[in-house]
Structure 1
Amino acid sequence: MQAFVNFWCTFKQLPSAWLLLLQSLMLVLAMFSSYSQSYRVVTWVLGVLALLVIAKVIRQTPVFTFLGLSFVSLAVLFSSLILVGIDQRWVQILAHVFEAFAYFSAAYGLLRYMFEDRYLTLDELFAAGAVFTLLAWGFAFLYSTCQLLIPHSFSLNSMAQQQQWLDLLFLSFSLQSATGLSDLMPLSPLARVLAIVQMFCGVMYLAVIVSRLIALQYIGERKI
């Protein structure tokens, strides 16, 4: 019982760290190409846990609104429908759209949290990393939605209508970090617009968040 209390206290103090941990586990699982039922169950459970942590993050910030929690609830609902075998395209589109909005809501909430605090804390360092991954995951879901709406929106060596999730996630991180390492190219107008928006958001985020963390560190040192 005491161990659970300690765990809950740690979770309440560092929700951003747990969010980063869950996303790291999801990234490791994305390396496997197996799509067995066991694999889908594990990835679904981790996805739901991530959404629940997102709900916790949203509740800790001024962005705690009915709209933000609705995104989380609808994302869980439609991802559950996919898990039980309802793989219709409109269900997948809605699931990915609501998951993207849920991730963006959490990113906005963490940004508000970091900019409202006056001193640099450990959770804010985790929050800085969590916002980056939340944005990358959110855009990856938008890319997945894009290729469901417009087949062949992205090109790779193959002529497949839909690219693998790991390839879309790799594209998202490549564009957001401005490294440009991905061999996946956006082709459709919608895909290219999304890529442009993400490149802009990624560059602006790195510039703003680095300056903010430096300012908080400077304020903390002046306080001492």
Structure 2
Amino acid sequence: MSPPRRPPVPMADRIDARLITIATDHVRRLGPGRVTVVGVAQAAGMTHANVYRYFPSKQALIDAVVGEALKPIEAVLADIASAPDPADDKLERLVLDLARVYRDLLERDGPVFRLYVSAVEANRAVARRHRGRIRMLVERVVDEGITTGAFEPRDRDRALSFLTDVLYRFTHPAAVLADAGLARDVLDRRLAAVVRVALRALSVGLI
């Protein structure tokens, strides 16, 4: 008996992915300023009018490039948040890995990371969605810590704001870009010290 056939991937999804892949390659080779819908269309073997069926503008296509690059980051952090580890361990890993994967993306794919920084500075939807997903994961781990007694903040919302404030220096994409010339081990030691202080503040109710 032959195995069941998988349902075919919708053609639109395959075309979307192909266009994003081509646009990403053009960003890397040409820089975002020289990426054009016409150029992407020619590389895909279609008309630029057809590209607009999937992405209504060049900016929408560029945002899709950014969103695709952020998906693996969100997956890594979601796995941490869903792990069975104690909440304080998970929060530490979540923060350290967020800084690490951003730096990895910057070093591996600088043009795309800079597009992400631009999206953050312009408060574009792709950046807001990503920020919302990261905040949701942090909130989930903090809430778990409160439930289990690992964290005893005086005020949950103030505690979350405190985390955002103290970790900005190491996890905000603009700060990551600004620190591109600093040695990673130096930044890692500094971030680890900040995380220890933040975890202590959460655990003993300083905030």
Q: What TM-score results when the alignment is normalised by the length of structure 2?
A: 0.34
Q: What TM-score results when the alignment is normalised by the length of structure 1?
A: 0.32
User: Looking at CA atoms only, which structure, 1 or 2, has the larger radius of gyration?
Assistant: 2
Higher relative contact order (CA 8 A, sep 6+): 2
